Amino acid sequence: MPDPTCIFCKIVAGEIPAIRVHEDDRTIAFMDINPANPGHVLVVPRGHAPDLYAMPADDLAACALTAQRVARAVRRAVTPEGVNLVQANGPGAAQSVMHFHVHVLPRFQGDDLKLNWGLTPGDLEAISEMAEKIRDAMAASDAT
């Protein structure tokens, strides 16, 4: 059941724009507009669950599979030196949106990215260009 006050539920419903890189029947992946690094993508379930504890197992599995697929595409599109999957639960873990989500974070030697990286608005044009690269990389992997 969607939460009418949840920004991610509004993105899922198409009420708020997002730069989407993937959609299926259970998940949506879209670019973080406050990217910690170029290529930072969020994976969310279509159904609302505020955190890991409330996530239905099948939605959790779907998010994990989508995160893996997106991470592979990010690796091809961005060529980072590594990728972190970050998932936070509750204010003590710096969860800023109370809708389960996984951050797919490209990592680079010396990026000095901290676990709680803060929110710095990114260049939407650059984010859109990066989304296109990631979508292309996902399409290329689907073709093989």
CB atoms inside a 10 Å sphere around CB 97: 15
Per-residue CA distances from 98 to 37, 64, 105, 134 (Å)? 22, 18, 19, 26
SS3 of 2-55: the string is: CCCCCHHHHHHCCCCCCCEEEECCCEEEEECCCCCCCCCEEEEECCCCCCHHHC
Amino acid letter, 87? Q
Paired tokens of 125:
């044009």
Backbone conformation region of residue 46, classed left if phi is above 0, alpha if psi is from -120 to 50, else beta: alpha
Looking at the annotation, which residues are catalytic? Answer: 101
